[in-house]
Amino acid sequence: MKQKKQECDEIKKEGETKKQKKQAHDDEKKQKSIVKKSQRREKFVLFCTTKKQHSFFGIQEQMHPPPPPSLSSQLSSSKSNFVYCCAFGNRRSRYCGGGGFGRRRRRSVLSSSSLTSLSSLSSRSLSNIMRNAKSSSSSSRTSLIATAAAGTSFSSMFSSGAAASEPARAALFVTSGYVLVQVMRTVFNHKTLSDVSVSCQNTEKNASVLKMLHTLRVGYDAITVLRNPHMSTILATFFRKDVDVEYQRELLPMACGGVVALDWPLSVDDETHKYRERTPEMLEKTRNLDTDFEPHRKSIPSQTPKIDGVLEEHYKTLPEDAPTLVLMSGIAGGSHDKYLKHMLRRAVMKGYRVVAFNARGTSESPLMTPQFYSASFTGDTRAVMKEMKRRFPNAPLFAVGWSLGANILTNTLGEDGEDALVDAACSMCNPFDLNRCDENLQKGFWGKLYSKSMANNMRKLFEPHKHLFQGLREYEPALVRKARTVRDFDEAITRVTFGFSSVDAYYEASGSKRKIADVRVPLLCVQAKDDPIASIEAIPREAIASNEHVILLETESGGHLGWTAGAEAPWGAPWPDQVAMEFFEVHALEWKTKRGANTARAKAPAEVTA
């Protein structure tokens, strides 16, 4: 019995010993794991090394915001720039800073995995690299991106497993992005030079004008990959740079009770103007405009005198003989159009007095009567030109029209003939023949796409004013709602409000091909040979050839208002803008010369009489 009891005690003691050893082993293993994790968190990745200067990018995970003392001293002793990212516990918070630990700012979430080498960088971490690269100089940005791409080994890109797939995709994303940027730069720098076709009568005046158009001598240097008509049209529409313009809107009443909106640019590209200065003198001057000011309860105070005062101050910033330029946009367009703003900025920089003419109901202008604008209606355009001549009688008057605006402008000049108030004009992408234009919009995928887009824009313009048309006998709201093409909208609204028997009759009567032969002022027409909307087949070549006042320029490419050539291509000002300004400069000089000669002749009889 005693022997058995001793054996049991020994077995029990041996079990307790094994248990203690296992507990000690587990504690030791746990302690090693903690130390290993701590060491792993303190690991730091350094790269982007150059010959003269070391540039560091660091990634660190730790449980608390302050870095370890050893790491902090290592980084603070370096004079190089670095970025460090740290993780705080399970909150997944991340901070990034540049230039030292004293400057930290909130950034987006990084990968929660331990970052022990570049090959383990996650896609979010590389996104952080890209964001920090944006704020760096161009040379350091290139180095940072290139090193980040090269830091991930190609073996990890093609290795199997979920752990390697994410950093492989991230590195591939960074590398492909960098390569894409370089490729796009190379592609956009490759241009195809072509001559611009010129059609006009061979007169001395036309020869002298063409001689002064220096842009024509250079030719049309289109970006090669953007010579496709649809690509240039769509990309220019969506990706052309916008111009920051601050307008003062003026509503000009028409004889029928309607109004048109004139937008005067008071500020271009964030320029500071006097009307924005809030000095005590300016505030006092503003208050003095309303001498009978008192709290209004039964009546509404008129703000019109204040607006008129601002415009008067704006007019005085330019000399009285500064050329006045009226800008007319295309279908459903207005002062918000990018191509119009680019022309506006160029003219303002030349010292022109510029105004954007918005047709009835366009560019968020009010519609006071059940009457939209149309390609055949020239009354509003004539009224605006007459008002500009009344306000600025001692200055030349010029006008530019795009697309449908070009058609309306040409019709106005043809109807007025010798009595035209405009001294010179320019039309761009004029459709000329609306029936032919309608055919282009009805055939093929692209034509239907353009037509649907323009119809949607017209419906959006019409929607806020639909209640004005309810009483018209032939008006059917259902047709407007169902309009999916320009022809559908013209059938539902334009034909009805302007009294045409059919859409075809409206198109035939409205095309400027019928009036261009009667134009008696200098007119520059710029067309693209590959225009998918205003096709070259619609150009009235015989009428243009018979008119000594018209010069026709045709570029090899450009689509519809999508010219991608010139110094600012592809996303800056369209190519014809510079040509149009040179054209206007020639006629502004001619106008001043004639005015000086007329003044001299007027003074001569007075001197003889004296």
Active site residues: 403, 531, 560
**The residue to which tokens 């995709």 are assigned:** 169
| Contact assessment for residue 561 and residue 330, using Cβ atoms and an 8 Å cutoff | yes
The structure tokens listed for 290 are 């309303």
Cβ(258)–Cβ(367) below 8 Å: yes
List C-alpha distances in Å: 308 to 286, 293, 314. Answer: 11, 17, 10
At position 424, the amino acid (one-letter code) is: A
Query: Residue 546 and residue 284: Cα distance in Å, rounded?
Result: 60
Q: Is the peptide bond before 253 cis (omega within 30 degrees of 0)?
A: no
Alpha carbon 489 to its chain's center: 28
Q: How far apart are CA 355 and CA 325, in angstroms?
A: 6
List 244's β-bridge partners, or say none: none
3-state secondary structure string across 379-426: HHHHHHHHHHHHHCCCCCEEEEEECHHHHHHHHHHHHHHHHCCCCEEE
Exposure string for 153-186, b = 16+ CB within 10 A, e = fewer: beebbeeeeeebebbbebbeebbeebeeeeeeee
Residue type, 342: H
